[in-house]
Structure 1
Amino acid sequence: MICDIPRPGDIGLRPVPGAIGWLIRVGHWLIGDGFGDFGHAFCVLRDGLILEQCLKGARIQPLAKYEPFPGVYVSPAGLSDEQRAAICDVATRYVGTPYSFRYYAGLAARRLHLIFPGSRRPETPAGRMVCSQLVDRIYLDAGVQLFADGRWFGHATPMALWRLLGEDRPARPQARTGLAVG
């Protein structure tokens, strides 16, 4: 379900500008996820904050940092206030989670039907994750399973989140219209 005003517990999806964004789009296409607009995902928290994965680890930041950039906010239909609160509470436990480059090797292995040690478990023992994988893990730990299609845990990209929750609307980012804080 697309949300015009982000609420705590929603998932933010954003394009990544520049050359890095283009590489992410090509990478998504190579793993069979299409050449989509969204290359970054994060969890909306309370009080105008987000938890997002960065190269230096997951951190809490103000949602306003994305004010000039287009994006969308999505959440599963029927998400209760209690589930939203649980998602926000769980998300704060992931501050500092290291970034994972290994994740992409796991996605490529799945696309090419290759099995090697660790390919079914893309997160490392140290708990390294990429942005969309972190969102999937937070929801799962809060008791909300996003994907029920048999995919290996963590094999979620921002475009997979869009396809799951975007209600078949075109994946064109919209300007943010406001923020619901709770």
Structure 2
Amino acid sequence: MTTAPVQPLPGDFFVVKVDGPVGVLISVGEFLNGSRFGHWDHAGVFVGDGQVVEAEPGGARLANVDEYAGRPIAWSTGHVQLTDAERTGIAAAARSFIGVPYSAADYFALALWHFRVRIPWAKHVMTSQSSMICSQLTDAAYAVAGVHLFKDGREPGDVTPADLAQLIGA
């Protein structure tokens, strides 16, 4: 598990614990979606210069990575091999998502998909980039750059922070 301080590179993603009741709700939601119950509740993409892009209830934003100082954080650094061109593309894609709204509908669509309720609305919401939760933004930034994090046949956007954590062994 990569929780020791590492120097992320542009294009690396992170997962981190969200404290308090919000973190508990996210963990329960992930469990209901079929992910393991754990403390990795949030994700984002490092874009360089100490900054990350992350989806939050107010919309995707650019933030300082220092906001997570002192909290357990796991990075994809060393777990997902990327070329310099892919790193540049991922960081640019993540930046292009700044301002994209966050929606509870994404959580609902993921839950329906998990329970095999494969209605067109759920697929549309889950695969759309018009609103995204943090893990969807992370996965979408990689996909735009031509990097597919999951090779298990899942639909685009069918990803939780716990899925990303499991991918890197956190």
One fold, TM greater than 0.5?
Answer: yes
* Cα pair distance change 1:151/1:18, threshold 3 Å: same
Output one character per residue of 1:89-113: Cα deviation in whole Å (capped at 9) or x when no partner: 1111111000021111111112221
Using the alignment, how far apart are the partners of 1:146 and 1:45 within structure 2? Answer: 17
8 A Cα contact 2:127 2:155, kept in partner: no
Residue aligning to 2:18 = 16
Report what 1:59 is aligned to: 61
Is 1:120–2:123 an aligned residue pair? yes
- Cα offset for 1:79? 0.8
Q: How does 1:64-83 map to 2 (within 5 A)?
A: 64-75=66-77, 76-83=79-86
Which residue number in structure 1 is paired with residue 99 of structure 2?
A: 96
* Structure 2: gaps of 5 or more residues: none
2:127 and 2:158 in contact (8 A); partners too: no
Describe the shift of the 1:114–1:18 C-alpha distance in structure 2 as closer, same or farther (beyond 3 A).
Answer: same
Equivalent in the alignment of 1:178: none
CA distance in 1, matches of 2:39, 2:129: 30
Instruction: Tell me by how many angstroms 1:72 deviates.
Output: 0.9
Gap change, CA 1:146 and 1:120, over 3 Å in 2: same
Q: Does 1:105 align with 2:108?
A: yes
Q: State the Cα distance separating 1:121 from its structure 2 match.
A: 2.5
Indicate whether 1:35 and 2:9 are aligned. Answer: no
Report the AA paired with residue 44 of structure 1.
F
TM-score when scaled to structure 1?
0.85
Contact 1:12 1:41 in 2 (8 A): yes
In terms of Rg, which structure is larger?
1
The number of residues matched between the two structures is 167
The CA RMSD over aligned residues, in Å, is: 1.9
Match of 2:144 in 1: 141
Tell whether the 8 Å contact from 1:100 to 1:123 is kept in structure 2 after alignment: no
Deviations 1:55-109 (A, max 9, x none): 1111111111111222111155321122111111111111100002111111111
Residue 131 of structure 1 aligns to which amino acid in structure 2? C
Opposite residue 17 of structure 1, the aligned amino acid is D
| TM-score, normalised by the number of residues in structure 2 | 0.90
Q: CA deviation at 1:140?
A: 0.3
